[in-house]
């Protein structure tokens, strides 16, 4: 009997222990469920706050349009007004509140379409730059985005001379490189989070009536986060699934999934080489690098752009190749390195574009018969006021002064440092040029 009582007590104790353990587990379960519910509630609140912030930004900077307004603006989405189509949806030209606009309709049932809508509103709704496409407003009920209308279409179409449009001159191409560098530098320095476009290509660069370029399509752009405590620009990255157009995508982004500002630099490098050569992006860096090494860069330049000045073309070729380096560490920094090359080139190109050619201003002889030593290496035009620089070469005074005033201390021809900044008038050459002009002017008069 004693043994039975002892066994019974043991059983009761074990049962009590099990009961206590079960109650403890039940309490832990209830606690975990409460924490889960609290986390879900917090996540929902964060999502709601995020949507409210986006909505507030949209209301503050853009106009909210109704679906009916978009339908009326496009004449019920008339196919005649469709100016673009892709996996994201369609783009229509429309007239909205007495303004010509471009209306992008994203697929509302597509998760990608919803994501792109939110990205465009979040980024373009809070940033403004002369070389970013302006987001005028949006329509959340129709997943519609309303942009300024840019009548000259995309850079991709202009390089292909689509619809028999005239080719872009080398001056315009140089300015486009400058404008894209400016836009990217602005995005990469955005606070508190830098913005990487992630899909930079000619199809996403649009041109206005004056051929001013504007970067658009921010549907897959990314806001970057800081890794660790470092403030170095190279530590900024975003790990994401690679999306975009393969030929313009950073090779390291493709292999690692890490998107950084220098991913955009790679894409810019490919575009620079395309603007120089007019070629397709596939293996373009190899073609240009081979031509540069052989001293035959002139053989791959796009002749439809006009006579590229050797100095500008050579500098842009080297810059494009540096930007398109396979290793992201070897690519130049936009603000500190790319900008210092591009800005003076743009200024020199602008001076050339403003200056009338001799053929237009004074009916001088055909440039094909002009002696090469009469031509300024920078402006690629016959010199009117030739000056000798410290490198021994003769330049048009306005051109070489513009070069020096832009901060250069090297020779435009040799890239070696100049011993001084003094310029000497080349009166002998100027006399020869004037005599040659007079002879040819008399020749043309005799033939009239």
Q: Give the span between the Cα atoms of 393 and 372, in whole angstroms.
A: 13
Here the tokens at position 151 are 């009548």
From the list 10, 199, 366, 409, the catalytic residue is 199
The secondary structure of the chain in percent helix, strand, coil, rounded to multiples of 5, reads 55, 15, 30
Write the DSSP symbol of residue 197: -
Could you tell me the sign of the dihedral formed by the alpha carbons of 201, 182, 340, 250, in that order? negative
Pairing type for strands 222-223 and 225-226 reads unpaired
Residue 241: enclosing H or E segment and its boundaries?
A: none
294 burial level (CB within 10 Å; 0-12, 13-18, 19+): exposed
Only one residue has tokens 């050619």, namely 357
Write the DSSP symbol of residue 87: T
* Residue among 414, 418, 392 at smallest CA distance from 404: 418
Q: Give the span between the Cα atoms of 36 and 38, in whole angstroms.
A: 5
Q: In 318-363, where do the E strands start and end? A: none
Pairing type for strands 63-64 and 135-139 reads parallel
Q: Give the span between the Cα atoms of 383 and 399, in whole angstroms.
A: 10
Asked if 259 contacts 253 with a C-beta cutoff of 8 angstroms, the reply is yes
199 is catalytic: yes
* Residue among 152, 206, 153 at smallest CA distance from 183: 206
Query: Does residue 347 have a known ligand-binding role?
Result: no
366-371-375 Cα angle (round to 5): 90
Q: Give the span between the Cα atoms of 10 and 161, in whole angstroms.
A: 94
Q: What per-residue string of b and e applies to 305-343 under the rule 16 or more CB within 10 Å gives b?
A: bbebbbbbbbbbbbbbbbbbbeebeebbbbbeebbebbe
* Residue among 320, 166, 188, 345 at smallest CA distance from 248: 320
Count Cβ atoms below 10 Å from residue 206 Cβ, excluding itself: 26
Q: Which residues are catalytic?
A: 199
Binding residues for ATP: 104
Binding residues: 104
């Amino acid at each position: 009997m004693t043994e039975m009582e002892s066994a019974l007590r043991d059983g009761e104790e074990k049962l009590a222990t099990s009961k206590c353990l079960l109650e403890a587990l039940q309490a832990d379960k209830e606690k975990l469920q409460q924490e889960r519910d609290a986390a879900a509630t917090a996540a929902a609140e964060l999502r709601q706050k995020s949507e409210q912030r986006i909505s507030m930004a949209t209301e503050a900077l853009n106009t909210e349009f109704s679906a009916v307004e978009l339908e009326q603006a496009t004449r019920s989405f008339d196919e005649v007004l469709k100016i673009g189509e892709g996996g994201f949806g369609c783009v229509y030209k429309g007239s909205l509140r007495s303004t010509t606009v471009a209306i992008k309709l994203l697929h509302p049932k597509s998760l990608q379409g919803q994501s792109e809508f939110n990205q465009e509103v979040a980024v373009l709704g809070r940033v403004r730059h002369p070389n970013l496409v302006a987001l005028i407003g949006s329509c959340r009920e129709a997943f519609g985005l309303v942009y300024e209308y840019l009548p000259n279409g995309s850079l991709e179409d202009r390089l292909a001379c689509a619809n028999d449009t005239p080719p872009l001159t080398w001056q315009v191409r140089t300015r486009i490189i400058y404008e894209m560098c400016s836009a990217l530098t602005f995005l990469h320095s955005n606070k508190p989070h830098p913005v990487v476009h992630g899909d930079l290509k000619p199809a996403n660069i649009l041109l206005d009536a004056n051929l001013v370029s504007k970067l658009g399509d921010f549907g897959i752009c990314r806001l970057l986060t800081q890794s660790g405590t470092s403030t170095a620009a190279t530590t900024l990255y975003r790990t994401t699934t690679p999306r975009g157009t393969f030929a313009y995508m950073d090779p390291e982004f493709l292999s690692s999934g890490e998107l950084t500002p220098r991913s955009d630099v790679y894409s810019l490098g490919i575009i620079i080489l395309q603007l120089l050569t007019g070629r397709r992006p596939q293996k373009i860096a190899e073609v240009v690098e081979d031509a540069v090494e052989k001293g035959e860069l002139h053989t791959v330049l796009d002749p439809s752009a006009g006579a590229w000045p050797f100095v500008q073309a050579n500098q842009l070729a080297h810059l494009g190749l540096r930007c398109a380096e396979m290793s992201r560490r070897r690519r130049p920094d936009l603000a500190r390195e790319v900008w210092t090359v591009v800005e003076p080139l743009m200024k020199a190109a602008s001076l050339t574009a403003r200056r009338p050619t001799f053929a237009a201003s004074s009916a001088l002889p055909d440039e094909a018969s002009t002696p090469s030593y009469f031509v300024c290496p920078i402006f690629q035009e016959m010199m009117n006021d030739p000056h000798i620089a410290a490198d021994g070469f003769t330049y048009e005074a306005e051109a070489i002064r513009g070069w020096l005033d832009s901060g250069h201390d090297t020779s435009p021809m040799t890239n070696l440092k100049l011993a001084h900044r003094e310029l000497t008038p080349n009166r002998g050459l100027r006399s020869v040029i004037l005599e040659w002009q007079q002879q040819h002017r008399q020749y043309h008069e005799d033939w009239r």
